[in-house]
Amino acid sequence: MHKLVVGLGNPGPEYEWTPHNVGFHVLDALAARGKSIFRTAASLPGHEGPANFLWAPAPRSAPSDSGGEGLLVKPLTFMNLSGKAVAPLVRRFGVPIENVFVVYDELDLALGALRIRPHGGTAGHRGMESILNELGSDRFPRLRVGIGRPRTDAARHVLTKFDKNALVEAEIATANAADALLDWLARGDLAGTMTRFHSRWNQDSQGSSQTS
C-alpha cells in the first residue's frame, strides 16, 4: 500500500449528511468512481489490529494509472479518536507520512469551499488533533471541506443534518473533492493537484458570485 486517504466522520445513520461527516461522504463519492464498496477491517489482507475502520480500494483514473496502490479508510472510532484507527494502519503497512491524505470539515471556510494544504495545524478540529497526536507529525496533506461557521453553537451545528439547500452545496463539494483526490491518487503530485484544483475552485466561486 502506497497511499492512504482518510475521511473523518462519525459512524451511524443519525450522523449521515451532517457537517461533521463530509469527510465520509467525500470518500463515498471517491469509492463510487471505482465502483468500490466499503468493507470491514477484518477483511483487509494483512491487517492484524482492531476492527475500528471501514476500507475500500482506491479507484484508478485509467489503466495506465501510475499512482500506486491506495486505500480509502473511514475510522469508526467516532471523530475525537480518529487517530486510533489511522496510526496503526500507517505503521502496519509502512505508508509514508506524506502519502496520508486526510479529508475533514472546516468551520472557517464557507459552505462548499475546498482547500488543500500539504501540512499544518488542526485549528481545533478534534479528529485532526487525534491523528496528529497518534502519528507524532503534522507533515501530512489534508483537504478541508467548508461547512461555514454558524452564528450560534458550533458544536450543535456540526451534528445537525444539512437543510435542503445546504445539502445541494455539500453534495457538489464532495464530488469536487473526490475529483481532486482522484487526481492525486493517479499522479502522486500534491503540488500539481493543488495548482490545478485551487485554480478551478476559485474560478467556480467567482462565477457563482457574479451570477448571484
Residues tagged active-site: 20
The CB density around residue 163, as the number of other CB atoms within 10 Å, is: 8
- Distance, CA of 125 to CA of 118 (rounded, Å): 17
Q: How far apart are CA 130 and CA 126, in angstroms?
A: 6
Let me know the angle formed at the C-alpha of 154 by 212 and 8, rounded to the nearest 5 degrees. Answer: 90
Q: Residue 73 CA to chain centroid, in angstroms?
A: 9
Block residue for cell numbers 475510522? 75
Interior/surface letters 190-206, b for 16+ CB within 10 angstroms, e for the rest: beebbebbeeebeeeee
